[in-house]
Structure 1
């Protein structure tokens, strides 16, 4: 028996040792990230700079700092990949980078000088889309899509594609002289995933298309079904009560994350609301200090802004 116990203790010790090894961060404080682009004194003929570097062993993230010609910090970003892109105006800049993990930071690289030069050649330039954000959900049939003006572009070409319907082109507009497009119900006639694309054009060159997607969803979430506590349940004051509910699956073409609003009242008609709380999941815990009858209900809301109906009202009594 003693031999078996010693074996178990040894096994547990080894497991603990290796588990601790997994969570101990590697010391990278003497290391330096290798810069790939832009190198020192590099000239960039684009309105977007693609910063790139070699991955550093032991680093989970990288801090990128960019300085203007007056040595002022204009970017201080923490990224998890070994590249990042930023739109930049013409001018002279410096940048540096270091690796980081949960416990250590590497040395910063020496500041690298680089210049961004404005050019009329659009081949290496990009359209910077402004709003809405990528993967935006909406139930609004009137939607404004806009982007930043590109100095070298004379006009813009726009395309709207219905991704759900097999990449079908819903709308095309060429030779636009403005940097926005307004969509209406005549264009957005179906709930779907859409991708909008814009490129800049001048007399001798053009950019590639820049694109984002958005989701049109006009279907209200289903009505939640109260599960806990049971209707007419009894509990005690100052004791946590677990409230729970379920909801049938969304039947709409587009599904998005559902959040909930739970309400409490002292009357069944909810003419007076004691409390309204937004909840991310399908459960909620609450205690009450006063005895009496209470009523609760819950409803769902999706990312597009659609709001469902409240669940049937349940009653509970506190003694």
Structure 2
């Protein structure tokens, strides 16, 4: 037994060496080494761009910005108060793919740091400090947080959210259905005031809406936030029309299932049943795909198969059930 185990071990080591030498030869020829061996970030350094170390500002909203690091897939950003050696409050701890992050802070002292990461390594953190001084709310701007700008949804109500603005005691949210950046002068779809940092809105019409938020401190008011857009679509695409094979026919394998495109559909859900619409043929179904056909190569001679297709649009709306067809395998 010991000799067998030893032989297997030596065989595995030999195989690993061969694989390593193969990859090494590819790298030496310049044939895409990064596709096989992920570069290490251990010796890389993140260069912070803004706010620079020692920044003093009266702007509550900051855009944290750094240079991209080659071979990094994402970045870990942390913001604490007052510093990493004497932390009393963790403000931000997030992974992002880009090299910018916007966040609204209260007045105070902060440190922020960023490291680069990929699937197998990470760089050291680079740290910078900043101080935010209090000032009048009239010089500030509310930061919107959700839904994301230009997002598409079929959910109702939609929950609109924004970040707290220091010294604010209430917020005004406006929604415009005219999409003119609130310059049309017509009646707004929504104009409400709340002490909360969110507001739920129910839409009844499929279209794009623009929204913005402003903060108040007594009689003082902040600047309006940036205007963002949300697209609402709760209308499902038309039912899918099946084209082949014809209903209730006998067909040899493989059987190519075909259907017409449904207007506005982004993908299709294929349902295949084993002689009963309550029993999926196997764990493959229902199957999501973008093609307008599927080759079915399962089943036994004489077996009856039922199938149908539903369309799904970009907002996630699912079409009504269309025709349910069947075929028997020859």
Question: Shared fold (TM-score greater than 0.5)?
Answer: yes
Q: Which of 60, 63, 66 pairs up with 2:79?
A: 66
Q: Does 1:260 align with 2:279?
A: no
Could you tell me which residue of structure 1 aligns to residue 228 of structure 2? Answer: 212
Deviation digits for residues 236-287 of structure 1 (CA, Å, limit 9, x no counterpart): 6xxx86644332323xxxxx744525242515xx4x4445625143455664
**CA distance, structure 1, for counterparts of residue 191 and residue 176 of structure 2:** 15
**CA distance, structure 2, for counterparts of residue 92 and residue 257 of structure 1:** 48
Q: How does 1:9-158 map to 2 (within 5 A)?
A: 17-20=29-32, 23=35, 28-57=41-70, 59=72, 61-68=74-81, 71=87, 75-89=92-106, 92-100=109-117, 105-109=122-126, 111-116=127-132, 119-130=135-146, 135-138=151-154, 140=156, 143=158, 145-158=160-173
Q: Which of 241, 248, 251 pairs up with 1:234?
A: 251
Distance 1:19 1:119, change over 3 A: same
CA RMSD of aligned residues (A): 4.2
**CA distance, structure 2, for counterparts of residue 289 and residue 92 of structure 1:** 72
Deviation digits for residues 117-155 of structure 1 (CA, Å, limit 9, x no counterpart): 554434234233445886131264x55544455343355
Q: Does 1:197 align with 2:209?
A: no
**CA distance, structure 2, for counterparts of residue 165 and residue 125 of structure 1:** 20
Q: Does 1:301 align with 2:312?
A: yes
Could you tell me which residue of structure 2 aligns to residue 5 of structure 1? Answer: none
Aligned to 2:124, the other structure's residue is in SS state: coil
Q: Which of 240, 246, 262 pairs up with 1:248?
A: 262
Q: Unaligned stretches of 5+ in structure 1? A: 1-12, 251-255
Deviation digits for residues 130-188 of structure 1 (CA, Å, limit 9, x no counterpart): 45886131264x55544455343355443323367898565166672444555456xx5
Q: Does 1:292 align with 2:319?
A: no
Deviation digits for residues 189-223 of structure 1 (CA, Å, limit 9, x no counterpart): x4211121112244445223244322222432122
TM-score, length-scaled by structure 2 = 0.66
- Give the Å deviation of 1:296: 0.8
TM-score, length-scaled by structure 1 = 0.68
Q: Unaligned stretches of 5+ in structure 2? A: 1-24
8 Å CA contact 2:78–2:113 kept in 1: the answer is yes
Q: Does 1:162 align with 2:177?
A: yes
- Give the Å deviation of 1:299: 1.4
Distance 1:206 1:311, change over 3 A: same
Q: Does 1:279 align with 2:279?
A: no
